[in-house]
Amino acid sequence: MNALDAGDRWLARGLRATAALLLTGAALLAAAVLARGALGLVETDPRALLPAVRATLACAAVATLLGALPGVAVAVYAAELCPAAWRARAVGVMEVCAALPGVVIGYAALRGLDALGVARANTLITGAVLAVMILPTVALLSTAALRAAPESLREASEALGASAWQTTWRVVVPSRWRGLVAAASSGFARAAGETVAVQLLAARAGGPRTLTARILDELHRAPPSSPWNHSLFAMSLVLLVLSTGVGLLARPPGRSRPSAGGSSRP
């Protein structure tokens, strides 16, 4: 028993040390990006960054508009209307789709554009490709948000004679709107930070030059410690602030208190 307790203590110490190393590394990386990014913002004309920022925002906005609503619709069906026997399978399919690498989706998009005879990928096409990428992520997060709704809400609605459809759209969805907004915002942040798929479209199909596409395309050509290199770090800083800001804005202001005797759906 003493040996087991000693092993648990060593395991806890190892986990704490690993966590401390990871947090320290993340802090050092963030500090380096902030320092060099700030230097790049000082040395770079902000007007030179605006085209990439506009392209990033435009593609992410189109992706969110095209991918968030279908993702929420899939989540509503999977969490509330899907038969219980199929719910776990639906979530498993969404998890597999969400784990698909961006290079696979980007390559498939290029092959599809070639088959359709489309020579150039504009903002709408790039946003549609990103929408395919973020849809499973939005659906997964939205499903988790909906299933966290107290079961007492559903029982009270059904007791008043509401159907499953009316309970879903008039009770469950309005009560979890903060979680749905957070899911859509996470999709926006992923679309804004996607690199490989956007770079494939930008390099081979003349797609928009977003922040990530420019960083990936120019980083290996920019001399170290040069103004060009610093401008790329400035783009990284802008992208970091953009993604973090969207996440903070979408964060619910407070956690909802569980109702007495209510429990979320398993």
Give the Å distances, CA to CA, from 178 to 100, 111, 249, 251, 255. Answer: 27, 38, 11, 8, 10
Give the chain's radius of gyration (CA, Å). 23
| Element of type H or E holding 255 | none
pLDDT of residue 2: 56
pLDDT of residue 237: 84
Query: Which stretches of the chain are DSSP H helices?
Result: 2-43, 46-76, 84-98, 102-116, 123-147, 151-159, 164-167, 173-175, 177-193, 196-204, 211-218, 227-250
Query: Which stretches of 176-210 are DSSP H helices?
Result: 177-193, 196-204
What average pLDDT values come out for the chain (266 residues) when binned by 10 residues?
65 86 84 74 75 91 93 91 85 89 89 86 91 93 90 87 86 90 90 87 82 85 80 84 78 49 48
Q: What's the N-to-C CA distance of the chain in angstroms?
A: 36
Cα separation, 21 vs 13, whole angstroms: 12
Burial of 182 (0-12, 13-18, 19+ CB in 10 A): buried
pTM over cut 0.75: yes
Q: What residue spans define the domains of the chain?
A: 33-250
pLDDT of residue 258: 44
Cα separation, 138 vs 66, whole angstroms: 11
Number of Cβ atoms within 10 Å of the Cβ of 220: 6
Eight-class DSSP state of 257: P
Cβ neighbors of 151 (< 8 A, separation 6 or more) are 262, 263, 264, 265
The CATH superfamily assigned to 33-250 is: MetI-like (1.10.3720.10)
Burial of 117 (0-12, 13-18, 19+ CB in 10 A): exposed
Residue 197 sits at the vertex; the CA angle it makes with 195 and 198, to the nearest 5 degrees, is: 65
Cα separation, 236 vs 216, whole angstroms: 11
Cβ neighbors of 15 (< 8 A, separation 6 or more) are none
